[in-house]
Amino acid sequence: MTARYAIYYAPADTSDLARFGNTVLRRTAMQSRRPSANDSGPAFADSIRWNALTQVPARYGFHSTIKAPFELTPDATANELLSATEQLCAQFSPIELYGLRVQSTPSSAFIALAQPQPEELNRLAAAAVVDLDDYRAPLMPADIARRRPETLSLRQRRHLQDYGYPHVLDDFNFHMTLSGALVPDDADFIAWLEQTFGEMVPGAAASLDRLAVYRQTSRETAFVRIAEFPFASQDCSRPAFAQRV
């Protein structure tokens, strides 16, 4: 299985929002592993339940999906993807996020940070999905089946076929996942998320001021950030990495 790449909004490492996400998931953008059982425990009192609830989102890192994970086409390189992402970021200015809050997703299946979506955020997400799609290899049948197309709307099935992910364009929903599947007894975990967010992110505000490229070397490993590109005139950071995987 070849590597997969994803285009995320991941906040600056030094930001309050990043520190909150790292506290919840206990994994920074550059880490490839979670702490062992012998490491210091998380702030949530029940470490076993915390591990079960955050294991899946921790594999992806704290982020909002802008372009969902994909394999590269055979004639594309990772360097070309980075260059295209950098060019895309040069076309946008920072988008202020106000009113972020911990809430359940529309399906109530998991908890995420979310807020109303300004139009410029919708334009950014659409541009990333469409403009970078030449670098995306078609989905494998197993990946299509994993999205359960029989449960999707006609428009979402077309998105899945055209762009490799159903929740794009008119179906884009900005959120930053904080948990896996919940049960009613997890109310105390939700309360801990709300309290921690309120303490760590004053005013529930942040700036969507960059896009990051993440790579997953195999389906069994975590996504790790390999580059990030702040918008417009801001300085960019581009860590070294292998050109082809």
DSSP string, 113-151: EE----HHHHHHHHHHHHHTGGGBPPPPHHHHHHT-GGG
Residues ≥6 apart with Cβ < 8 Å to 87: none
* Between 35 and 66, residue with greater pLDDT: 66
Token digits for 234? 């801001």
Model confidence pLDDT, tens digit, residues 144-193: 888 888 888 999 999 999 999 999 999 999 999 999 988 888 999 999 99
Angle at 119 (CA atoms; ends 201, 147), nearest 5 degrees: 80
Residue-level pLDDT at 36: 53
Domains, the chain, in order of start with CATH, read 4-230 (3.90.1140.10)
Residue-level pLDDT at 239: 44
- Provide the CB-side half-sphere exposure for 39 (13 A, CA): 10
Model confidence pLDDT, tens digit, residues 203-241: 888 999 999 999 999 988 999 999 999 998 554 444 434
Q: Which residues pair with 224 in a beta bridge?
A: 215
243 has pLDDT over 50: no
Beta strands in the chain, from DSSP E residues, in sequence order = 4-9, 64-70, 95-97, 101-104, 111-114, 176-177, 206-208, 210-216, 224-230
CB atoms inside a 10 Å sphere around CB 155: 12
72 has pLDDT over 60: yes
Model confidence pLDDT, tens digit, residues 198-211: 999 988 889 999 99
